[in-house]
Amino acid sequence: MNTRTPLIASVLLAASLLSGVAHAALPSYTFTDLGRGAAYAINASGQVVGFSVATNGANHATLWNGTTATDLGRGVAYAINDSGQAAGTTVGYATLWNGSIATNIGNFAPLAINASGQVAGYYYYDGANRATLWNGTTAIDLLPLGWNGAGTRPFDDRIAFAINASGQVVGFSKTADGAQHATLWNGTTAIDLGTLEGAYSSQARAINDSGQVAGFSHAGGVSRATLWNGTTAIDLGVPEGSYFSEARAINASGQVAGFSAAANGANHATLWNGTTAIDLNTLLDASTVHAGWVLQVANGINDNGWIVGYASNSILGISQSAFLLSVTSVPEPETYGMMLAGLGLVGVAAQRRKLAKV
């Protein structure tokens, strides 16, 4: 009696089950082209902000509700909170939008906004960028690393990129040796988050309400996407075939979005689930790929896992177009149960054949 054939069949069945579940464990997305420009942020309701390129070539700050675009005026919108307040720049001034109503809030570059309407960014003064927090009425200078506010210190370069619901701000500030280090501001006090081991510099680009921080560390001409839990830096890695990565956004579940670069230098939008790096182009449906779309950079991710950024299309001659990836299906817990049940059946069958042989 040939017992090898049933055994081989069992192994193949197990492999098939594992492969099927691994594939099912990845979310499915619907790709939406939002038009020439770039998308920078998305809120819990799926509202997206960024900029669109007008027929005269000028950038116009834009708010998208689905595929409906609202022109907010010449400039760029960089951030949006769950109330629909957006922050960005118009003609060189910091701007806060409530719907389509624009308010000038000062002379700085706003890059982030939280649920309370606090805005973080930077302004340029006396030869350096200075991280700034706008608290609703006034702009507050966020101190550089290594300075308690007393005495005289050079205006070291520092930029704030993100702010969470608690008012914690992240970005970078220069150290005494001139290197950029990822920085967390609690109030106006700067905390050095450090770098990955062996890296010289780092930047923090995003923070969630749990205090997890995402960004990148840089060494030897190569950046690696980095996650900070407190001051512990974790290398998020790169997708297979890539060597360079940067994180730009993080949601409440700790999912991180950004981009990675392949050996040929091409940027691909990337999603990190834990330390598993996924090229988002591998999750596009066949029709989107055949149409020529390539996701280049992911700039934002909301708590539902929806992702925004910009893409290119060589077939259509488009170098940069804003995109939205909306989640159409997510892995169900039952999927893993089915896998375990299937593997259990394989084991039972193998055991029965073993007993029958005896």
Which strand (E) or helix (H) includes residue 336?
A: helix 333-357
Nearest to 168 by CA among 129, 115, 225: 115
Please tell me the distance from the alpha carbon of residue 170 to that of residue 319, in angstroms, as a whole number: 30
Contacts of 104 (CB under 8 A, 6+ apart): 90, 93, 94, 95
pTM of the model: 0.85
Which strand (E) or helix (H) includes residue 22?
A: helix 4-24
Angle, alpha carbons 301-307-309 (nearest 5°):
105
Is residue 331 very low, low, confident or very high in pLDDT (cuts 50, 70, 90)?
A: low
Is residue 154 very low, low, confident or very high in pLDDT (cuts 50, 70, 90)?
A: low
Q: Mean pLDDT, to the nearest integer, of 7-36?
A: 61
What pLDDT was estimated at residue 276? 94
Q: Mean pLDDT, to the nearest integer, of 122-133?
A: 90
The proportion of the chain whose per-residue pLDDT surpasses 90, expressed as a percent, equals 72
Please tell me the distance from the alpha carbon of residue 169 to that of residue 206, in angstroms, as a whole number: 9
| 76 contacts 82 by C-beta, under 8 angstroms | no
Dihedral angle sign, alpha carbons of residues 190, 221, 162, 99:
positive
Tally of CB atoms within 10 A around 91: 9
Summary mean pLDDT of the chain: 86
Query: Residue 56 pLDDT > 50, yes or no?
Result: yes
| 131 contacts 158 by C-beta, under 8 angstroms | yes
What pLDDT was estimated at residue 340? 38
To 10 degrees, the CA torsion angle through 348, 349, 355, 358?
-150
Full set of structural domains in the chain with CATH: 26-330 (2.130.10.150)
- Is the pLDDT higher at 10 or at 252? 252
Is residue 128 very low, low, confident or very high in pLDDT (cuts 50, 70, 90)?
A: confident
Please tell me the distance from the alpha carbon of residue 292 to that of residue 98, in angstroms, as a whole number: 36
What pLDDT was estimated at residue 329? 75
What pLDDT was estimated at residue 148? 64
Please tell me the distance from the alpha carbon of residue 82 to that of residue 304, in angstroms, as a whole number: 13
The proportion of the chain whose per-residue pLDDT surpasses 70, expressed as a percent, equals 83
Dihedral angle sign, alpha carbons of residues 48, 207, 225, 174:
positive
